[in-house]
A and B are shown apart, each in its own frame.
Chain A
Amino acid sequence: MSVIIVFLFVVAGFAGWWLSHQGLMSKPWLEQGLAGDVVALNRSTLPTAKIGLGVFLAVVGCLFALFTSAYFMRMAVPDWQPLPLPRLLWLNTGVLVLSSIALQCTSVAARRGQIDTVRLGLATAGLTALAFLIGQLMAWRQLTADGYLLASNPANSFFYLITGIHGLHILGGLVGLGRTTTSAWTGARPERVRLGVELCAMYWHFLLFVWLAIFALLAGWAATFVDICRLLLT
């Protein structure tokens, strides 16, 4: 459970930083405003939707941290046999990186108000993300064809489970991306489009980060890394 504890420490760090700006030491019982007084709230100036997405990503991060914790604990049992990862996953990783880059460019274009580039970027991001999903499905088929079935070893079970959940998150993101794309094509207000694009980019970068982390986990590098840390600590 150490991974999730580390994750929670990070969340607690954010929470502590935020709390430290909320005047926890103030004495509200002495404060009495007169008519016309307006006090600053220390509220974030980010759009509410971004804050909402940020909180949601914390929950998603928690979910994957827990899967990782479970992975490490289950891995310690002797029946664990790591499975050879299909090479295709490298290609998929590249495609997902492209998708993220496309959205980053789109969000720059949206800031500059270049609606044509925005449309192009959104379409590219959507197609590459779809390509990633198809690639993942093909990797699954390759593995099953080679006899690495879901239930035949816990390493396999975790592989299908974690990549599956990650894929579902991408799929959910595609719904949001689809809505933003429609709004870019039907001429919604530019601020709306821009906000939508920025939200998508944020989500995409996060899922790319998660994918890199679980790729490292499934390939066994994460375990090596943890072992090195343990050696250094003891």
Chain B
Amino acid sequence: MVDITPADGIPPAEVAEVELYHPHSWWTKYIFSQDAKVIAVQYSATATGIGLVALVLSWLMRLQLGFPGTFNFITPEAYYQFITMHGMIMVIYLLTALFLGGFGNYLIPLMVGARDMVFPYVNMLSYWIYLLAVLVLVSSFFAPGGPTGAGWTLYPPQAIMSGTPGGQDWGIILMLSSLILFIIGFTMGGLNYVVTVLQGRTRGMTMMRLPLTVWGIFTATVMALLAFPALFVASVMMLLDRVLGTSFFMPAISELGQQLAHNGGSPILFQHLFWFFGHPEVYIVALPAFGIVSDLISTHARKNIFGYRMMVWAIVGIGALSFVVWAHHMYVSGMHPYFGFFFATTTLIIAIPTAIKVYNWVLTLWRGDIHLTIPMLFALAFIVTFVNGGLTGLFLGNVVVDVPLSDTMFVVAHFHMVMGVAPILVVFGAIYHWYPKVTGRMLDETLGRFHFWVTFLGAYLIFFPMHYLGLMGVPRRYAELTDMTIMTESARHLNSFISIMAFIVGFAQMVFLFNLIWSIRHGREAGGNPWRATTLEWQTPQTPPAHGNFGKNLPIVYRWAYDYSVPGAKEDFIPQNMPGSFGPSREPT
């Protein structure tokens, strides 16, 4: 543990060398490493690996939806299992783990000017428990009866009954156990991310000088620490219902003509607990994306971020508000109309800070010196996609609109736009942006542009038409719709088209993966600061940063993170650790 005890708020210039953990062998350097940068890469690689599984599952689902009846191995049961595992993996094991465990671990210590996380040992444990959670999840594919097919929301009573795949087999047990492990592991990591931001900042790095990336990840972590316990409670209680026959969630119910032993349990209670976690979860993946995209836009438009203070307030405000909107996922659960009214109102209020952020991104771009680099392209694509998904969110936030659209493809289109595609675009942009720091080499430009255009346009072509399907009344979570009257000729063609697009987009991801691996050795040398950025991670003496991040002395911070194109300065960027006063609008010295 790196114990830093500052006096009167001014941290010591240096943490005593003895306190920094040092690896002694190959094993402790690359495998059981306590270095946040290595842990970040481990998290990212594991998340990407399991994310590929989710991608393949989405192909299988699209095969069935686009060409019903052609692929006999996709039974309705298998289809439910694919949906469930796809949704759960994408939301939790890919996006949450990647943003917080991956980007959080890599960027927080570097950006705040620390040598490492404050509790490196706990940080390492966090990764290994995450890996265990992933392995338990994967094992359910091989368990008798296969993985659970309860839908990613795992609603009881169906989740643990024999009609649902995995309900009376191993599937649901492994899923719940894996979630419990994930939450334990995440809590360990989350403590590190929060306390490092609180206590690990270097001299001069006040909270209001932090890059927005750190603000986003920090707030998201605080939210996750408070929201995941709800999923934990729900998982433990459901596990007891399933394994030991309690009736927390299970009402009196009969199955195959037989009365089950359960009695009186409340499925609605589960929904409350699940969505108390589930809604903040949306922002747990969105806030880091907001933060990162702000930094990408500012750096690649060579302009300071517009309204930094407002951006910080908006991040904090969204974080707080998102805890009081959860029941907008339960409009159709038979709740009291006044409740519906309350939750619709809070939902619409969140739109205000969110809209402020969008305005500020656009105003940052306004008359900026926009370099259409690949990170910038992804950032622009994010804004478009996020606005699109956010607008349909305003539709669905209203009870009267949501009730008929609930459980249709419109909802699938909405949440894929807003929490699937938009954050993933930021992930890509961030990888193109920081890959040079992690590996010392640039990703290939041509492959990158190909990847961008196919992914962006393709994702639009996949998810935009789904809105129409939803408005026509096509329900979600249906394996087979051919005989229904709503499935007109054109709707069926549209479905096939969407499926083909899904394959093309998936193929582009393979190109991206190839690029990631190939460029480690063959990419162009990047140098220490290829984007000429101001934040501390670009000012490290070595690239990739060595153990301990900064050389002999920790950097001292003299300014905020967005001094781009300052008139009167020699370069068009001023690193945060450069002292001095520049520009006519500033106080002369």
Contacts and interface: CB of A to CB of B under 8 A. Distances in A.
Interface of A: 1, 4-5, 8, 11-12, 15, 19, 22-45, 47-49, 51-52, 55-56, 58-59, 62-63, 66-67, 70, 73-74, 77-80, 150-151, 154, 157, 161, 165, 195
Q: Which 10 A-B pairs have the closest CB atoms?
A: A33-B558, A79-B264, A28-B560, A35-B579, A40-B9, A22-B207, A157-B246, A151-B245, A63-B229, A32-B581
Given A52-B119, A66-B230, A154-B247, A32 B1 contact: no
Contacts of A43: 6, 9, 11, 198-199, 201
Interface string B197-210: 01111011111110
B390 to A, nearest CB: 25
A67 B118 CA distance: 30
17 contacts: A15-B222, A32-B587, A33-B559, A38-B203, A41-B204, A41-B206, A45-B6, A48-B5, A49-B119, A51-B195, A62-B229, A70-B248, A79-B264, A150-B240, A154-B248, A157-B240, A161-B240
B275 to A, nearest CB: 10
Contacts of B526: none
Interface stretch (B306-314, B402-410, B494-502, B527-535): B306-314
B244 A151 contact: yes
A1 B227 CA distance: 13
B273 A25 contact: no
B203 to A, nearest CB: 5
Interface string B1-13: 1111111111100
A152 to B, nearest CB: 9
- Size band of the interface chain B makes with A: 35 or more
Nearest to B231: A66
Given A51-B199, A150-B244, A45 B560 contact: no
A161 B232 CA distance: 13
A153 to B, nearest CB: 9
A76 B129 CA distance: 37
B266 A48 contact: no
A63 B559 CA distance: 40
A29 B312 CA distance: 14
B562 interface: yes
A33 B305 CA distance: 19
A35 B10 CA distance: 16
B304 A29 contact: yes
A38 B208 CA distance: 15
A55 B191 contact: yes
Interface in B257-290: 261, 263-266, 269, 272-273, 276
B556 to A, nearest CB: 7
